[in-house]
Amino acid sequence: MSATRLLVLGAVRRHGRAHGYQVRADLEYWGAHEWSSVKAGSIYHALKQMAKQGLLVAHEVAPSTAGGPPRTEYEMTAAGDAEYFRLLREALRRHDEKIDFLTAGVGFLVDLPRAEAVALLKERVGAMEEWRAAVLQHYSPQEGEDYGHIGEIMRLWLHTAEAGAEWTRALIARLEAGAYVMAGEGDPWAGVETSPGGPDDRNPS
């Protein structure tokens, strides 16, 4: 799965219609360039590729009064919206994706209804518990048996599974207690700063 694809689609969707610099500003403000492979070049490449794939529509708009080339703004299509939610759901339910994909999913968690988000996260907990059980099947040293330093690999996997499940359960508890504004409950992004322009900078000139 691609964290870049999810992040770029989510940023465009939040604005309704956005140019590359807006998407880049949002993601850099989130620090996505630090915890994912998203860089300026990959953002513009993703926008162009997804426009070719019919997930986005590219609109060429007039240049600013200060001069410069025409600016391209992107808008989600129905197919793009479907792909966005497919990626978002996969990011939250799976236990075996890279941390950047999960992080991207958490960043857009509020775009889902509360009950659905909780259900997806419970799937993740179940998958992590199954993974932990599978690791234990292979890591059960008998008396006198020594895995040596290779045992540290198993301990790392167990720790990762346990810590991941614990964090996910805590998030589920916060959601079930009413944390955050979710889809269908109002504007999930109201008051949430996502770029230097502020939360209401949705259609800048």
Identify each DSSP E strand in the chain by its residue range.
Answer: 18-19, 56-61, 71-76
Query: Residue 195: its pLDDT value, please?
Result: 64
Radius of gyration of the chain (CA): 20
In a domain, 14, yes or no: yes
User: Are 162 and 90 within 8 A, CB to CB?
Assistant: no
In a domain, 192, yes or no: yes
CATH number for the domain spanning 44: value is 1.10.10.10
Around Cβ 200, how many Cβ atoms within 10 Å? 10
In a domain, 110, yes or no: no
Taking the chain (205 residues) in consecutive chunks of 10 residues, what is each chunk's mean pLDDT? 88 92 88 77 91 94 65 94 97 88 93 97 94 81 68 86 94 96 92 58 38
In a domain, 139, yes or no: no
In a domain, 132, yes or no: no
In a domain, 39, yes or no: yes
3-state secondary structure (DSSP) of residue 72: strand
In a domain, 44, yes or no: yes
Rounded to 10 degrees, the C-alpha dihedral 158/161/162/167 comes to 160
Report how many domains make up the chain: 1
* Structural domain of 24: 1-89+187-199
